[in-house]
């Protein structure tokens, strides 16, 4: 498979995927998730991990590269077929394919997990998008590949409005095809802080609606908590990065462990919300209050 592509991204999502995002994560939270990544030197399916020791000044510390062979075999196979199909249709207009999420970070569960990719195109004409509709739909339905379509400029120019989402990808992603559009991406610290606070506040508010919709069902409350915890993992880790207390890995367990130490909260009910969802709800509220106060205080302390 050759390198005939380049950076792709995130605003040209198709309607079906867009609807799915709204239902599953809520739109602004999805648009805001992010972290950090690096370069695969143009090598097909190279995996890169990057971590910010401090987001101040956007100075990056890189993790060792993870060979593509260490990604789940099923994900590798599906991504290779996906890249071939897109290259056949888009040719030189395919700037890059970037995979992120559980397939790279860990936690990928085969037929149960989506493979999140950014398809970066040098142009997004109606003609090209229509030509790509069949391979993209096939990939979604047959391989659970969710593709977001971006142009290279939409990554760099939108880093200030989607800072957490882009930072998450920059920190942990793999290059399936082409160049790395996140290699030199800079994300202003204050944009990250504001988005963190916005996402945490929004999650806190939306959980209230979920409780009302759950009609006192412990199972539905547990499901809502599990979804909200998944959504706040990224913002909480980003906040810990800003504060200089982030764990080496950004798994939910690691992130909650740091929260437990910083805020003096027993996070055990959040690790298994189905056991006692009412208790988990109380812990989640305390966690959101403490993290929001931290994000707000950070802005005031730094004058931002």
Q: Which pLDDT tens digit goes with each residue over 79-102?
A: 999 999 999 999 999 999 999 988
Q: Which comes out higher in pLDDT, residue 53 or 115?
A: 115
Give residue-wise pLDDT tens across range 175-225.
Answer: 999 988 888 888 888 899 999 999 999 999 999 999 999 888 999 999 999
Q: What is the pLDDT of residue 248?
A: 85
pLDDT > 70 in the chain, percent? 77
Q: What is the pLDDT of residue 32?
A: 38
Four-point Cα dihedral 131, 132, 138, 143, nearest 10: 160
Average pLDDT, the chain: 80
Residue 303 predicted with pLDDT over 70: no
Which of 118, 101, 230, 255 is closest to 171 using CA atoms? Answer: 101
pLDDT band at 170 (very low <50, low <70, confident <90, very high): confident
Beta-bridge partner residues of 118: 148
Q: Which comes out higher in pLDDT, residue 148 or 180?
A: 148
Average pLDDT over residues 287-292: 97
CB 294 within 8 A of CB 239: yes
Q: Rounded to an integer, what distance in angstroms lies between the CA atom of residue 10 and that of residue 91?
A: 20
Q: What is the pLDDT of residue 304?
A: 55
CB 17 within 8 A of CB 132: no
Residue 272 predicted with pLDDT over 90: yes
Q: Which comes out higher in pLDDT, residue 230 or 63?
A: 230
Q: What is the pLDDT of residue 62?
A: 40
Beta-bridge partner residues of 172: 49
Residue 242 predicted with pLDDT over 60: yes
Q: What is the pLDDT of residue 107?
A: 80
Q: Rounded to an integer, what distance in angstroms lies between the CA atom of residue 148 and that of residue 274?
A: 32
Q: What is the pLDDT of residue 75?
A: 92
CB 60 within 8 A of CB 51: yes
Residue 254 predicted with pLDDT over 90: yes
Record the tokens describing residue 287, joined without a space: 């966690």
Give residue-wise pLDDT tens across range 14-48.
Answer: 333 333 333 333 333 433 333 333 333 333 444 44
Residue 52 predicted with pLDDT over 60: no
Q: What is the pLDDT of residue 147?
A: 96
């Amino acid at each position: 498979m050759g390198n005939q592509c380049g950076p792709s991204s995130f605003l040209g999502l198709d309607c079906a995927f867009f609807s799915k995002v709204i239902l599953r994560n809520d739109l602004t939270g999805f648009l805001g998730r992010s972290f950090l990544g690096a370069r695969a030197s143009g090598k097909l399916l190279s995996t890169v991990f990057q971590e910010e020791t401090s987001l101040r000044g956007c100075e990056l510390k890189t993790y060792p590269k993870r060979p593509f062979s260490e990604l789940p075999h099923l994900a590798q196979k599906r991504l290779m077929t996906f890249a071939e199909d897109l290259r056949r249709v888009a040719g030189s207009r395919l700037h890059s394919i970037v995979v992120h999420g559980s397939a790279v970070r860990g936690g990928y569960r085969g037929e149960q997990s989506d493979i999140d990719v950014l398809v970066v195109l040098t142009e997004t004409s109606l003609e090209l998008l229509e030509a790509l509709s069949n391979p993209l739909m096939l990939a979604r339905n047959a391989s659970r590949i969710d593709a977001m379509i971006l142009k290279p400029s939409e990554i760099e120019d939108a880093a200030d409005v989607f800072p957490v989402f882009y930072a998450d990808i920059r920190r942990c992603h793999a290059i399936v095809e082409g160049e790395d559009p996140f290699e030199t991406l800079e994300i202003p610290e204050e944009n990250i802080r504001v988005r963190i606070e916005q996402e945490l506040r929004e999650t806190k508010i939306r959980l209230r609606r979920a409780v009302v919709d759950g009609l006192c069902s412990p199972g539905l409350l547990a499901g809502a908590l599990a979804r909200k915890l998944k959504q706040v993992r990224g913002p909480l880790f980003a906040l810990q990065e800003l504060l200089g207390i982030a764990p080496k890995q950004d798994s939910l367990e690691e992130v909650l462990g740091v929260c437990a130490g910083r805020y003096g909260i027993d996070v055990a009910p959040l690790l298994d919300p189905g056991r006692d969802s009412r208790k988990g709800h109380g812990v989640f509220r305390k966690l959101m209050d403490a993290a929001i106060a931290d994000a707000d205080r950070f802005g005031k302390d730094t004058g931002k």
